[in-house]
A and B are shown apart, each in its own frame.
Chain A
Amino acid sequence: MKVFEAFKIAFSSIIQNKMRSLLTMLGLIIGIASVVTVVSLGEGTQNDMLNEFSSLGINTVTVYENKDVKLPDSEKLNLDDIEALNEYFKDDIESISPRMNVAGDIIMNIDDTSVSLKGAIKETLESEDLTLISGRFLNDFDINSNKRNIVISSDLSETVNKKVGDGILIKARKTTYSYNIVGIYESQSSLGGFELESIYIPYTTINYMSNLGGRVGSIQIDFNDDIDFEKAKSDIINVLERTNRNIGEDLYKTFSADDMIDNISNALGQMTLFITAIAGISLLVGGIGIMNIMLVSVTERTREIGTRKAVGAKYRDIMLQFLIESTVISLIGGLLGAIFGIIITNIAGKMMSISSVFSIEALVVAFVFSTLIGLFFGIYPANKAAKLNPIDALRYE
């Protein structure tokens, strides 16, 4: 018998039992649909994050202190370290700046507004991707002479009803000073929505005001495009350890966007794995459902099998007929599942504003898996049918 004939027999049998076939497919439809959805959404999320981070600057390294160790004050990151790094990297660096944030409150008549004071240098305008809409950004003079000049966001300027040239009272570290607004930058729509408004202030001013003695929270370095990033990161540590004479003590850490991406990819990967495992269980259940229905079908059609054998069907012919039937059921289930998965991905993607990725891989996986499930769970019933003795089968009531 030709394989093509076996397909025809399988299809006509599936069509004769539409409802039953559909119910049998259900487990598989759900399983495959969830795999496709999870994989596609996961990939979409990952892509979104990648885009997000590459816009934040893929060449940026943040240097910070190892939080698991208590550093003596003298070995904490400070302005001298920045100088040393600047010296070492020279032309490879686009900008290097200290990072220090101090929480503060704007003192007003009615309500205080919490803000975050960010230590800045003049390159901060660029490295933070800020757009000035009025006034100017902090300049070298502000920084060298610890000026209490600040740049605030357009949203904040509206909230507190202040413009360039106005003074504003901010309480930080228990002391309240008046600061001059020298510039206003355009507010960016923030990701989380719960971030405090950022106010940029000369880092020297923060240092002086908070009595930090030159210490900085962390250091941000923007490298040029053409450097060996991994080597630069290990060089940073070497320079710092040499400067502070604590070689090998592992007191400093670096962090960059690609570390972040690795972390997120890892977390997403684990999540995908987990949900895929659950979906795998539903595929298993779907497969068992197929096996069950095929066993029922073989029993129901015992006389048919006897008749086919009496007119010359061989073991192989009957085996093929039932294996193809189970595989076709499974495959249709898988493809329907994939279609539903794509639809769900699109809807869910829109609702959660994740760009949905049409994952060819997921489709291929669905296709391969459902074929394998159909074959695997079809073998037992098909073998049972194929090895029936023709006489017993014909006599079956």
Chain B
Amino acid sequence: MISMRNIAKTYKTGHIYVEALKNINLDINDGEFISIIGHSGSGKSTLMNLLGGLDTPSMGIYMLNEVSFDTNNENTLAEIRNKLIGFVFQTFNLLPRQSALKNVELPLIYAGVSGKKRKEMAINALKIVGLEKRANHKPNEMSGGEKQRVAIARALITDPSIILADEPTGNLDSKTTHEILDLLKKLNDNGKTVIIITHEEDVANRTDRIITLMDGEIISDKKVLK
């Protein structure tokens, strides 16, 4: 359960202030499948970063599972990113010199899981995304879709309750896009909250709820009729 109350984010570059987000009030229940859409520069990524604890809001209250926490404490945020959130990025952000397996293991290193257990869990996660055969491949030996599946395996390895995906299909063709969406839908069916940022209407339409941002504000928040 995620709650945001009067959240705002202002960036300061030199003497210029940019209000990337203002007056955000948002409730997301466990197990929802949500998309966030809006024009470029409307604040989607900024919102995603706040939701995932990668960044701190300039004001407002952020509650996870009904607990509001100190968004300025680096270690608390790191803890949340490690245990409660899984990120999927448009640019994959895999470590280029490490195998798929090692990449998937990465969050577990910071969770203090021992080497043997890590490997077991990583192979399992790769099975879920259908890539166990690519375990020893490096990122540059894989296609974009495969890389994104490795990233998804990494996002779910610590069994977080929330998966955040910032334009996960932005670099993929339409066939692969739907494969990735199928995968995210499958995770949602298994009870995870999945939030996707997208430009594409048909991607948004596959989710259950669409939140539209414009100039840093939520201008619409509606259920998708199926």
Interface positions, chain A 332-391, Cβ under 8 Å from B, are 389-391
State whether the Cβ of A16 lies closer than 8 Å to any Cβ in chain B.
yes
Question: Judging by beta carbons under 8 Å apart, are A315 and B75 in contact?
Answer: yes
Mask, A292-335, CB within 8 Å of B = 1, is 00000000000110111111111101000000000000000000
State whether the Cβ of B141 lies closer than 8 Å to any Cβ in chain A.
no
A394 to B92, CA, bound (A): 11
Of A2, A306, A389, the contact of B112 (CB 8 Å cutoff)? A2
Distance from B41 Cβ to chain A, minimum over Cβ atoms (Å): 15
Question: Judging by beta carbons under 8 Å apart, are A307 and B93 in contact?
Answer: yes
Known: A304-B95, A306-B93. A314 touches B78 (CB 8 A): yes
Of B74, B97, B107, the contact of A311 (CB 8 Å cutoff)? B107
Question: Judging by beta carbons under 8 Å apart, are B87 and A311 in contact?
Answer: yes
Chain A residues contacting B54 (CB-CB under 8 Å) are: 309-310, 390-391, 394
Question: Judging by beta carbons under 8 Å apart, are A310 and B93 in contact?
Answer: yes
State whether the Cβ of A1 lies closer than 8 Å to any Cβ in chain B.
yes
Interface size on B, residues (CB 8 A): 25
Known: A16-B97, A304-B95. A313 touches B78 (CB 8 A): yes
> Which secondary structure dominates chain A's binding surface?
helix
A333 to B113, CA, bound (A): 32
State whether the Cβ of A5 lies closer than 8 Å to any Cβ in chain B.
yes
Distance from B6 Cβ to chain A, minimum over Cβ atoms (Å): 22
Of B74, B89, B106, the contact of A314 (CB 8 Å cutoff)? B74
Of A304, A310, A313, A314, the contact of B87 (CB 8 Å cutoff)? A310
Of B55, B81, B94, B95, the contact of A312 (CB 8 Å cutoff)? B81
Closest-by-CB residue of A relative to B89 is A394
State whether the Cβ of B109 lies closer than 8 Å to any Cβ in chain A.
yes
Question: Judging by beta carbons under 8 Å apart, are B78 and A309 in contact?
Answer: yes
Distance from A390 Cβ to chain B, minimum over Cβ atoms (Å): 5
Question: Judging by beta carbons under 8 Å apart, are A312 and B110 in contact?
Answer: yes
Mask, A4-48, CB within 8 Å of B = 1, is 010000000000100000000000000000000000000000000
User: In this complex, which of B109, B111, B112 has the most chain A Cβ atoms within 10 angstroms of its Cβ?
Assistant: B109
- List chain B positions with a Cβ less than 8 A from chain A: 49, 52, 54-55, 74-75, 78-79, 81-83, 87, 89, 93-95, 97, 106-107, 109-112, 154, 158
Contacts A315-B74, A394-B54, A394-B93 known; list 6 others, CB within 8 Å: A312-B79, A312-B158, A315-B78, A317-B110, A390-B54, A391-B49
- List chain A positions with a Cβ less than 8 A from chain B: 1-2, 5, 16, 303-304, 306-315, 317, 389-391, 394
Q: Can you list 13 pairs linking A and B with CB atoms under 8 Å apart?
A: A1-B109, A2-B112, A5-B109, A309-B54, A310-B54, A310-B81, A311-B106, A311-B154, A312-B81, A312-B107, A312-B158, A314-B78, A315-B74
Smallest CB-CB A-B distances: 3 pairs: A312-B82, A311-B107, A312-B110
